Amino acid sequence: MIISYLIATAKGIWPFVILGIVVFGIIFYVIETMVLSFGIAKPHKRHMHTKIKKSKVSKEFKKIYHYIETNYAKEVEKNRKTLLKSIIICLVLFIISFSLLLFLRQTLDIKSKNGYGILGLLFIPLVIYYTYKYKKYNTAYLQVFKSKIIHNFVNYINPNLYYHQYGGKHLLHYYLDAKFKGHPFSRFVTDDYIEGYLDNSTNIEMCNISLENVNENGELLNLVYEGIFSVTQLDIYLSDEIRIEKNKYSLKLDCNKVEMDNNEFEKYFDVYSHSNILAMQVLTHDVMEELVQFYNTYKIKFEIIMKNHNIYIRFDTGVMFEPNILKSSNDQNTLWIYYNILQFVTNVTIKINTLLKNLEI
């Protein structure tokens, strides 16, 4: 209605130029919203990951990927292409409606408010299609991707892990206990909840988290943080806390900085603890090498807090476990990142628990 009114009452060429810019902005926004709302491999975009080389992919991952590709990719791809077509149809309907609007404006003498309303009716097909078709295909693709690709991907990596599209709100207690750095937030949003236990019977929970500030009506004011948060259980109670932070962070904590005997590790991380001895006993050369290798390979920032009976890890990945839409739904690069984050949490936890069993604490 607003667009039709502006065009109907505009005089000269400049209003059309300005309106053209606005329309281009709307089209760009529609594409950005529809496409990037799926998080098109956000970790790749944020951290500029290059395409993985086949030689670097482990045999285990190849086996998992082949299983997913063979059993589920065809069905999910069908849904992805249907959704992609619906986005194209939405854009085509918008272009047709806008073109007719310009044509009628030039050929008809419209002066009444009813005339402006009639011009606005040109956009009704777009509104109807977006409401009843696009949203339907959107929801269908999201559900089939989560239930087929992610659910089976996680379960194939470890049969003792279970994926749930929703859940994980109870992890707020653990997140607050970890006392990660950052701005305050008023809402803790979770999804893509994974729970179960590792091969050594260690309990593990992880999920996507979104830290938000909202007003009294629950409306979003700003996004504070998005990423992956995991909690794994320690076999032994730690009387002293150990914090591993990316060294660019400026921390003001009631902890002492520990100087580690590893120059490569200290290029990327700072360690804080009241017990230097405990920190050095836990962070052996193997553990530090694992942390450095993961960061150097994927450039994903992360923080680790070992406290009481738990290991808390926060990955600065942005939203994960979301489907692609411009690329294959079973994109190898995306699943490779997910695979390595799961493996990283597993390996670090098992190594640290093994070390703690041999320590006299």
Q: What is the average per-residue pLDDT within 127-131?
A: 76
User: Which one is predicted more confidently, 58 or 288?
Assistant: 288
Residue with tokens 């500030």: 213
Backbone angles phi, psi at 338, to 5 degrees: -60, -45
Contact of 134 with 126, CB cutoff 8 Å:
no
Backbone angles phi, psi at 303, to 5 degrees: -130, 140
What is the spatial distance between Cα 230 and Cα 208, in angstroms, rounded to a whole number?
Answer: 9
Pairing of β 220-246 and β 269-273: antiparallel
User: Mind listing the pLDDT tens digit for each residue in 59-103?
Assistant: 899 999 999 999 998 999 999 888 888 888 877 888 887 777 777
Q: What is the average per-residue pLDDT within 339-351?
A: 86
Residue with tokens 């990596």: 157
Q: What is the average per-residue pLDDT within 292-298?
A: 88
Q: What is the average per-residue pLDDT within 203-231?
A: 92
The per-residue pLDDT for 21 is: 65
Contact of 274 with 303, CB cutoff 8 Å:
no
Please, is 124 exposed, middle or buried when counting C-beta atoms within 10 Å of its C-beta (0-12, 13-18, 19+)? exposed
Q: Which of 289, 303, 309 shows the shortest CA–CA distance to 253?
A: 303
Please, is 355 exposed, middle or buried when counting C-beta atoms within 10 Å of its C-beta (0-12, 13-18, 19+)? middle
Strand stretches in the chain, DSSP E: 161-164, 187-197, 203-214, 220-246, 257-258, 269-273, 302-315
User: Mind listing the pLDDT tens digit for each residue in 238-272?
Assistant: 889 999 998 765 555 555 889 888 899 999 999 99
Q: What are the extents of the domains in the chain?
A: 2-36+72-155, 158-357
- Tell me which of 10-24, 102-116, 188-202, 306-320 is least confident: 10-24
The per-residue pLDDT for 338 is: 86
- Tell me which of 1-15, 48-62, 78-92, 142-156 is least confident: 1-15
- The SS3 of residue 48 is coil
**Chain centroid, CA 2 distance in Å:** 36
- Tell me which of 43-57, 66-80, 164-178, 303-317 is least confident: 43-57
The per-residue pLDDT for 114 is: 56
Q: At what angle do helices 73-107 and 14-36 cross, to 10 degrees?
A: 170
Q: Cα-atom radius of gyration of the chain, to the nearest Å?
A: 26
**Which pTM was predicted?**
0.79
The per-residue pLDDT for 32 is: 55
User: Mind listing the pLDDT tens digit for each residue in 20-69?
Assistant: 666 566 655 555 555 554 443 333 344 444 444 544 778 899 999 999 99
